[in-house]
Amino acid sequence: MITANANTAPALSVEGLCVEFRTRAGIVRALDNVSFSVGKGETMALVGESGSGKSVTAYAIMGILDPAGRITSGRAMLGGLDLLHAKPSQLAEVRGRDIAMIFQSPRTALNPIRPVGKQIADVLIRHGNVPRREAPEQAVEMLRAVGITDPARRAKAYPFEMSGGMCQRVMIAIALAAKPSVLIADEPTTGLDVTTQAVIMDLIGDLASKMGMATIFITHDLALAGQRSARIVVMHAGHVVENAPTNELFAYPRHPYTAELIAATPDSAASLDELASIPGTLPDLRRSDLPPCRYSERCPRKIEACAQPLPQAAPGATHIVACWNPLPAPTLGAPILVASAENVA
Amino acid sequence: MTDIATSPPRESSLTALFKHSRYVLGENPVTGFAFALFVLIVLASVFGPHIVPYDPLASDTTQALKPPNAHHWFGTDQLGRDVFSRVVVATRLDFFIAIASVALVFLMGGLAGVAAGFFGGWTDRIVGRIADTIMAFPLFVLAMGIVAALGNTVQNIVLATAIVNFPLYARIARAEANIRRDAGFVEAARLSGNSDWRILSFQILPNVFPILVVQMSLTMGYAILNAAGLSFIGLGVRPPTPEWGIMVAEGSAFMVSGEWWNATFPGAALMVAVFCFNLLGDGLRDMVDPRRRT
Amino acid sequence: MLTMILKRLMMAIPSLIGVVIVTFLLTRALPGDPAAYFAGPAATPQAIQEIRVKLGLDRPLIVQFGHYVDDLAHGNLGTSLTTGQPVASELRNRLPASAELTLLGLIVSIIIAVPLGILAATKPNSLLDHACRIVATAGVSLPVFFTGLILVYVFYYQLGWAPAPLGRLDVFFTEPPHVTGFYLIDSLIARDPETFMAALKQLILPALTLAIFSLAPIARMTRASMLAVLSSDFVRTARASGLSAYTVIITYAFRNAMLPVITTLGMVFSFLLGANVLVEKVFAWPGIGSYAVEALLASDFAPVQGFVLTMAVMYVAINLMIDVLYGVIDPRVRLDA
């Protein structure tokens, strides 16, 4: 796993992303000031419980939000182009070619009445500068590259004739066909059995390192994130609460939520009654009186300062915590930059 | 997508329905317009005969086939009768045909379908066979046949419309009953000693009604068109009764020679009414089940 | 695939039996006495009774039904009282007229309704969407014969663009040599462009009438189906892969959305078979619809029976073809059955 070097430009940089949804029951402020970046070839994980906004972040970046959703502010810089403010024609160029995404439930994410080989070929023809005649052959090669046996025959098959794991491989093939520099994987292994999960994650990792591709894993499984990524971004109720290299995060988590999350992650050695849960529930994001820190109402470490707007991250920080009362940092080791009250924007 | 983890506080279902209706009407002004039109039609059927300027049956051959003018807003027909009065008075009959047909098919089709879905077995098979047989006919042709065989009275027109729409209602009702047959509340009712018929009437049928209501407003439009079609080939209402369909039928002969008002005004009234019912059906569908919006 | 076809045919047989029985009963219930009609206005009661015996009308209903079924099995649909011709041959002669009209109407309808539905679905709740809905609904809110009349009034009486509604061909033309019975096709086969144009001119208004009538269900179903498909997971994947708008909307979305539209076509065809009867009357079209209506009003039941039976069989055949078409497009159905 390659870790980010603060001096090279990131592959993708999300800054201050805010997303709202218009619903029958009011406006849901789904994302508030979400920022993170992923370096070239880096593997990052976006972690959080259901409803934390991880998938919404991905959809916003890719420009495939539900029509009820609006991006109210922010930028997503992909190699100099702001994805959130690009023209549809620019977006259509960049999607698939420079940034790609794979989704949960692979079987429904594939066109049910089109042979999988053709679906891969569509992307190759569109982005890969592959002449129409050669696309089917190259599609077969892609299938081989993702580890599908007998790819020539499988290319003519339909998704409903394949297992979940194979469908996921096909999705990976589609996503990687044009060799993008960033891959977003939204819960790629949910719904697959454990063995297949490991195989798929290995496959993604191998291809990523071969192609020098940055990967963003979206998952609720902190353990999985820990095994596979160099950096973890923890989200809660539409906020980024902590952003740190994996080892640091697990060794000394600083945000109270992260600590609870780690404690709640089941360990195969633990017994059932040792399972911890995080007290409280996600706040209702339609409220107009949401506190600046959306975790504060469930937080055991809440102090008076928590009613203020969250601290901004100092530029160049490698371990970011959005908290006024974080857990103590280790006294030795690399300095961790956290803004103090004066730096609040 | 973001889940809403906590739900809003429970409000009374009537306020919820009101709010929901207001939202739907706001989203779609066309539905609101359709509602207003519907009220107008009801008013015309109730008060029409009392407020029209002329007796719809009074003929005056000296005034035959006059185009629209200050005395006769819609002109006069071949017997000198005022077209406007006839059009307005006909609202009552056509509206009655629509309502009666729909009530009859709801009872027939709804009950049969619900019984078929709930009891299954032979009930289901018999209802299914009847529905299949009806559906094997082109529907208008079947209506023609029924009215021709039984005689062209308003009752038979209503009956023919109900029979022709029976399969659709039976199928929808059956599907809904099937879904709810094993539902929790049905089990509970059964366990507390309710007979099957009580469960059907008081638990299942009320649940099926909202879904059928959407279809019913569409059928209202169809019933009027059906009656009009039958009149056109001579199997509908008998003259001199004012009914939109027969007015169009009689007026059509004059259309080709340029006396357009005879057929156009009743035809327009027909269209407005059917249009209103169709739009109403769409609006109701939005209210009942937004997922099924077409 | 073959098993599916056979299964469908088996399922259709009980309905057809039902149709035969119901038709028989209905026509026997028609008012009027065929024997009296046949005998003529000057006949004596004995003469009428003799004819009644000859026609077998004095036998119990069951026996009559037995004869009827027996005749059917031999392809004998009886004889028309009003024309004296065998019903089967009259139906055969007049069927192409109705078929040509209905098919053309359906094709025109599809050409207008499907793009309308797709357009409305790509811009939901826009002005265009509402306009499409209103136009389509208006088309189906008019009685079909009224639509025909208005078209005749506007385009024939006022504008003079269309010919008089007097049937399939203007008096000055003769019908092309019979190959299919479809004047459009036969005139092309006979390399006769003038007859082709003449036939087309006569076809336009009635076909348009049918098309306007069937616009609404097709447009609605296309729109609903497209809306559902456009928000599906695989369209999201296609968008995320940056495929062109055409590829996403047509190759990915529409091909999937077509499936429910195709099944709707079966229902629409049934509507059209019924509406045919009315349109043929307005435009003096010599098809089986007008044949049946004239017979019905004269209480001549053999043609009516024959007509209804033919319609029912055609309906079964159409639905079967639609099922097959569905199987061609959707591989999941193919392999499942």
Q: Which domains does chain A have, with CATH numbers?
A: 10-98+180-343 (3.40.50.300)
Task: Report the C-alpha gap between A63 and A60 in whole angstroms.
Answer: 5
Q: How far is C317 from chain B (nearest CA, A)?
A: 11
Task: Report the C-alpha gap between C171 and C186 in whole angstroms.
Answer: 18
Chains touching C (3+ CB pairs < 8 Å): A, B
Work out the percent of chain A whose per-residue pLDDT is above 70.
91
The whole-chain average pLDDT of chain C stands at 82
Q: In the block, which residue shows the tokens 């049905």?
A: B186
**pLDDT category of residue A305 using cuts at 50, 70 and 90:** confident
Give the residue from A39, A19, A38, A37 showing the smallest Cα distance to A29. Answer: A19
Give residue B26's pLDDT. 64
**pLDDT category of residue A59 using cuts at 50, 70 and 90:** very high
Give the residue from A61, A62, A179, A182 showing the smallest Cα distance to A127. Answer: A179
Question: Hey, is the C-beta of A105 within 8 angstroms of any chain C C-beta?
Answer: yes
Does residue A1 surpass a pLDDT of 60?
A: no
Angle at alpha carbon of residue A191, lines to A189 and A193, rounded to 5°: 80
With left for phi above 0 and alpha for psi between -120 and 50, is residue B80 left, alpha or beta? left
Element (DSSP H or E) covering residue A13: strand A10-23
Give the residue from A267, A275, A269, A343 showing the smallest Cα distance to A311. Answer: A343
pLDDT for C222-255, tens place per residue?
988 898 898 899 999 999 998 988 999 999 999 9
Contact B127, B170 (CB under 8 A): yes
| Nearest-Cα residue of chain A relative to residue B1 | A56
Residues 6+ apart with CB under 8 A from C233: A103, A105, A108, A109
Does residue A339 surpass a pLDDT of 50?
A: no
Angle at alpha carbon of residue B12, lines to B11 and B16, rounded to 5°: 75
Angle at which helix B139-150 crosses helix B154-181, to 10 degrees, equals: 130
Q: Which of C234, C242, C255 sits opposite A95 (nearest CB)?
A: C242
| Nearest-Cα residue of chain A relative to residue C245 | A92
Work out the percent of chain A whose per-residue pLDDT is above 90.
34
Q: Which of B3, B8, B23 sits opposite A51 (nearest CB)?
A: B3
| Nearest-Cα residue of chain A relative to residue C252 | A111
Count CB neighbours of B28 within 10 A.
Answer: 19
Mean pLDDT computed over A6-27: 83
How many CB pairs below 8 Å do chains B and C form together? 152
What's the CATH code, domain B20-50+71-292? 1.10.3720.10
Give residue B4's pLDDT. 41
Instruction: Tell me whether residues C332 and A64 touch, CB distance under 8 A.
Output: no
Token reading at C186: 């036969």
Instruction: Tell me whether residues C26 and B146 touch, CB distance under 8 A.
Output: yes
**pLDDT category of residue A102 using cuts at 50, 70 and 90:** very high
Instruction: Tell me whether residues C242 and A93 touch, CB distance under 8 A.
Output: yes
Handedness of CA A43, A45, A46, A50 (dihedral sign): positive
Taking CB atoms and an 8 Å cutoff, what residues of chain C touch B260?
A: 153
Does residue A337 surpass a pLDDT of 70?
A: no
Taking CB atoms and an 8 Å cutoff, what residues of chain C touch A108?
A: 232-234
**Of residues A104 and A6, more confidently modeled:** A104
Angle at which helix C288-297 crosses helix B139-150, to 10 degrees, equals: 10
Does residue A4 surpass a pLDDT of 50?
A: no
Give residue A216's pLDDT. 95
How many CB pairs below 8 Å do chains A and C form together? 80
Q: Which of A93, A108, A114 sits opposite C233 (nearest CB)?
A: A108
Angle at which helix C144-151 crosses helix B244-255, to 10 degrees, equals: 20
Strand partners, A155: none
Q: Which of B27, B245, B263 sits opposite C149 (nearest CB)?
A: B263
Instruction: Tell me whether residues C141 and B278 touch, CB distance under 8 A.
Output: yes
Q: Which C-chain residues 11-30 have CB contacts (< 8 A) with chain B? A: 12, 14-16, 18-19, 22-23, 26-27, 29-30
Instruction: Tell me whether residues B2 and A24 touch, CB distance under 8 A.
Output: no
Question: Which of B1, B21, B28 is the best residue to mutate to test the A interface, defined by the most A CB atoms within 10 Å of its own CB?
Answer: B1
Task: Report the C-alpha gap between B219 and B60 in whole angstroms.
Answer: 37
Element (DSSP H or E) covering residue A78: strand A69-78
Q: How far is A61 from chain B (nearest CA, A)?
A: 14
Q: Which of B1, B6, B8 sits opposite A281 (nearest CB)?
A: B6
Q: Which of B140, B148, B263 sits opposite C30 (nearest CB)?
A: B148
**Of residues B2 and A153, more confidently modeled:** A153
Task: Report the C-alpha gap between A149 and A206 in whole angstroms.
Answer: 18
Task: Report the C-alpha gap between C162 and C154 in whole angstroms.
Answer: 9
Taking CB atoms and an 8 Å cutoff, what residues of chain C touch A160?
A: 331-332
Taking the whole predicted model, whether its pTM rises above 0.90 is answered as no
Give residue C311's pLDDT. 83
Give residue A321's pLDDT. 85
| Nearest-Cα residue of chain C relative to residue A62 | C240
Task: Report the C-alpha gap between C89 and C95 in whole angstroms.
Answer: 10
Mean pLDDT computed over A173-191: 90
Q: Which of B260, B278, B293 sits opposite C137 (nearest CB)?
A: B278
**pLDDT category of residue A270 using cuts at 50, 70 and 90:** low
Give residue B294's pLDDT. 36
A65-96: b (≥16 Cβ within 10 Å) or e: beeebebeebebbbbebebbebeeeebbbbbb
Burial class (CB in 10 A: 0-12, 13-18, 19+), A189: buried
Taking CB atoms and an 8 Å cutoff, what residues of chain C touch B30?
A: 130, 133-134
**pLDDT category of residue A343 using cuts at 50, 70 and 90:** very low
For chain B, give every domain's residue range. 20-50+71-292
CA dihedral (B181, B185, B186, B189) in degrees, to 10, reads 180
Handedness of CA C22, C24, C25, C28 (dihedral sign): positive
Q: In the block, which residue shows the tokens 């059956």?
A: B174
pLDDT for A32-47, tens place per residue?
889 999 989 999 999 9
Q: How far is C112 from chain A (nearest CA, A)?
A: 25
Give residue B24's pLDDT. 62
| pLDDT tens-place values along chain B, 294 residues long | 444 444 444 555 677 667 666 666 666 677 788 888 888 888 888 888 888 777 777 777 777 777 887 777 778 888 878 888 888 888 989 999 999 999 999 989 888 888 888 887 888 888 988 888 888 787 888 888 888 888 888 899 999 999 999 998 998 888 888 777 777 777 787 788 777 777 777 777 777 777 788 788 888 988 999 898 888 888 888 878 888 888 888 888 787 777 788 888 888 898 899 988 888 887 777 776 655 443
Instruction: Tell me whether residues C243 and A108 touch, CB distance under 8 A.
Output: no
Please report, for residues A55, A102, A119, B193, C332, the alpha-carbon distance to residue A109 in angstroms, rounded to integers and kept in the order given: 15, 9, 11, 48, 16
Contact A285, A302 (CB under 8 A): no
Taking CB atoms and an 8 Å cutoff, what residues of chain C touch A171?
A: 237
Which ranges of chain C have pLDDT less than 70?
A: 1, 30-40, 55, 334-337
